[in-house]
Amino acid sequence: ARTQDHVRTAFHFQPAKNWQNDPNGPVYYNGMYHLFYQYNPHGALWDVGNLSWGDSVSGDLVNWAALGNALDPTAPFDANGCASGSVTILPDGTPAILYSGIDADRRQVQNVAFPKNPRDPLLREWAKPAYNPVVPLPADVSANDFRDPTTAWVGRDGLWRFAISAVADGVGATLVYRSADFLRWERRAAPLHASQDAVMAECPDLFPVAARGAEGLDASARGAGVRHVLKVSMPDTLEDYYAVGTYDDAADTFTPDEDCGGGDYRRWRRIDRGHLYASKTFLDARRMRRVLWAWVNESDSEADDVARGWSGLQSFPRALWLDGGGKQLVQWPVEEIETLRTRRAAPLQEVEPGGGVREVTGIVSSQADVDVVFEIPSLRRAEGLDPGRLHDPDALCREKGGSLTGGVGPFGLLVMASGDMREHTAVFFRVFRILHEYAVLMCTDLSRSSTKAGVYKPTHGGFVDVDIEKDMSISLRTLIDHSIVESFGGGGRTCMTARVYPEHVAAGSSSHLYVFNNGSAAVKVSKLEAWELASASVNVDDDGGLMA
Ligand code: DQQ
């Protein structure tokens, strides 16, 4: 009998086994959700020559059934790997895959694929036409720097477009291609956006958001009340950045609202202040919301991945929309997570300042959904902070860790805590006074998350863009799932994903959950909803089930 794998998640998307990375082509089609993903069917480690597109379907974004691979590297135009891409639904209702192939000569080229049988509601088999690639490698782009086409959209002229990452003539750029028939594509003269440094960004995503309200828009939406977001993924640090701005569909250019100097993506806002990469959104036409998926990789050793037989998670799907101020995105776990809620923890109100810790009891907290609101009666004790310190929240969180004392905070949650407290992950806030204003810092401190050696245990930090003087409260939602802790501060204005590998969890012991306040100022827990979550059915491999 196989020993139970307690690091494996209970409600995050994983294939039954092996390596996965980027989400590809998420789409709602014919009453079903599809998630394709970068998949190595031959093992638990990255192997570019063996990249396929795994394929799973779901009726609710929570429970998933695995289908056979949608794409495997079998043709001259993808012989060395089927890399990332997207799905677009064509006007006749047919879904089309646009993806990067690494061809027999190791050049990155763009290909299309269509369902073999568009009437199959599960879209089980995909055909790659022999006329691929539809976009060969351009002369000014090197073989390795041309990949990850977006979902296509239609401009005012009725023509299709997709965006793609490249280093063109030495400049890191997001290029746009245009087509009348989805087959013959022509590059636009100017890039959608170019960055002064020559870094190859990955997995671009350009999508419209409503200027007001949370409703999701189709990729081709335009006109009054429509803003655009450009997101890119930076491979050197594995971080996703975005800007809100204006997309001009006559010139096919994108101009960010906030001037951040030379277009350096690293000055843009982060999708998530923690550990999350290669995100991609899609319009969920069933509930008219835009939903984001992202790859969350492992941060223990490759030997651990091989021993477990798998590597990589997808973040729990998040609805996202533009915040009221129009400057940033808000992200929130899709409400279908509520279908997994079972037992609810006992209520709790008071946590003493100056080191108070209260246990949240009544639930198994290694798979839980915690929603808490901290009310701050007074900001008088907020510590002063030099404005220069606003630029490096990670360092600030490292210096001012959750176990230290403070003024207003640190207060928050201790999750995945062992009975003896030697292991715990702290997710917390601190409020600082900067001249005559206040700033809310959010941290996830992994330094004590595991007693295991050789595990990456960083401290993630980020400021939360809320008006704390007006609100006098701050909310925290945290999803806990065996080896991932995904937190949403200030109603989803700052998101922070972390991977944790507590030894007590790996050994199958139960975790504890606490609320704490190490600040000297009083903080009231005005809401605490902590739910134990049932295990979703995610690509269960019963050796003879749907897995190919
Ligand atoms: N991974 C894919 C690429 C993408 C990178 C290959 C990002 O297409 O650029 O698996 O993780």
Whether the bond between 410 and the residue before it is cis, its omega within 30 degrees of 0, is yes
Say if ligand 1 is within 6 A of residue 83 CB.
yes
- Asked whether residue 379 is domain-assigned, the answer is yes
Asked whether residue 412 falls in the same domain as residue 302, the answer is: no
pLDDT per residue rounded down to tens, the chain (548 residues):
456 899 999 999 999 999 999 999 999 999 999 999 999 999 999 998 899 999 999 999 999 999 999 999 999 999 999 999 999 999 999 999 999 999 999 999 999 999 999 889 899 999 999 999 999 999 999 999 999 999 999 999 999 999 999 999 999 999 999 999 999 999 999 999 998 777 899 999 999 999 999 999 999 999 999 999 999 999 999 999 999 999 999 999 999 998 776 678 888 999 999 999 999 999 999 999 999 999 999 999 999 999 999 999 999 999 999 999 999 999 999 999 999 999 999 988 789 988 899 999 999 999 999 999 999 999 999 999 999 999 999 999 999 877 788 999 999 999 999 999 999 999 999 999 999 999 999 999 999 999 998 899 999 999 999 999 999 999 999 999 999 999 999 999 999 999 999 999 999 999 999 999 999 999 999 999 999 999 999 999 654 444 43
**pLDDT value for 82:** 98
Q: Are residues 304 and 438 in the same domain?
A: no
- Is the CB of 278 inside a 6 Å radius of any atom of ligand 1? yes
Atom of ligand 1 nearest to the CA of 84: 8
Closest CA to ligand 1's atom 6: 83
Q: In this structure, what CATH number is given to the domain that contains residue 313?
A: 2.115.10.20
Tell me, using a 6 A CB cutoff, whether residue 148 lines ligand 1. Answer: yes
Q: Are residues 261 and 359 in the same domain?
A: no
Cα-to-centroid distance, 441 and ligand 1 (Å): 32
Statement to judge: residues 292 and 353 lie in one domain:
no
346 and 329 co-located in one domain: no
Q: Are 318 and 350 within one domain?
A: no
Position 6 in a domain: no
Among candidate residues 316, 333, 350, the one where a domain is terminated = 333
Number of domains in the chain: 2
d(CA 9, CA 313): 8
309 and 388 in one domain? no
Per DSSP, the three-state class of 305 is helix
Question: Tell me, what's the pLDDT at 284?
Answer: 98
Instruction: Please give the pLDDT value at position 543.
Output: 45
Identify the active-site residue in 22, 55, 103, 300.
22
Closest ligand 1 atom to Cα of 100: 8
| Residue 83 domain boundaries | 18-333
Ligand 1 atom 5: the closest Cα is on which residue? Answer: 202
Mutation to probe ligand 1, out of 98, 106, 148, 298 (largest number of atoms < 8 A from CB): 148
Atom of ligand 1 nearest to the CA of 38: 10
The answer to whether residue 543 sits within a structural domain is no
Q: Is residue 10 assigned to a domain?
A: no
CA atoms within 13 A on the CB side of 294: 32
Cα 6 to the center of its chain, rounded Å: 23
38 touches ligand 1 (CB under 6 Å): yes
Residue 119 and residue 165 in one domain: yes
Active site residue 420: no
Check if the interface score ipTM surpasses 0.90: yes
Whether residue 528 lies inside any domain: the answer is yes
The pTM is what? 0.96
Quote the CA–CA distance of 48 and 257 in Å, as a whole number. 37
State the distance from the centre of ligand 1 to the C-alpha of 169, rounded, in angstroms. 21
Asked whether residue 538 is assigned to any structural domain, the reply reads no
Among 272, 302, 333, give the residue marking a domain's end.
Answer: 333
- Which residues, other chains included, contact 505 with Cβ-Cβ below 8 Å and sequence gap of 6+? 6, 7, 366, 416, 482, 483, 511
- The answer as to whether 8 is a domain residue is no
Same domain, 455 and 431: yes
For residue 517, the CA-to-ligand 1 centroid distance in Å is: 41
Same domain, 202 and 132: yes
Are residues 356 and 517 in contact, defined by beta-carbon separation less than 8 angstroms? yes
The domain that holds 488 is classified in CATH as 2.60.120.560
What pLDDT sits at residue 349? Answer: 77
Buried b (16+ CB within 10 A) or exposed e, 7-37: bbbbbbbbbbbbbbbbbbbbbbbbebbbbbb
Quick one: 153 and 182 in the same domain? yes
Number of H helices and E strands in the chain, helices first, is 4, 39
Q: Do 490 and 518 reside in the same domain of the chain? A: yes
Assigned domain for 93 exists = yes
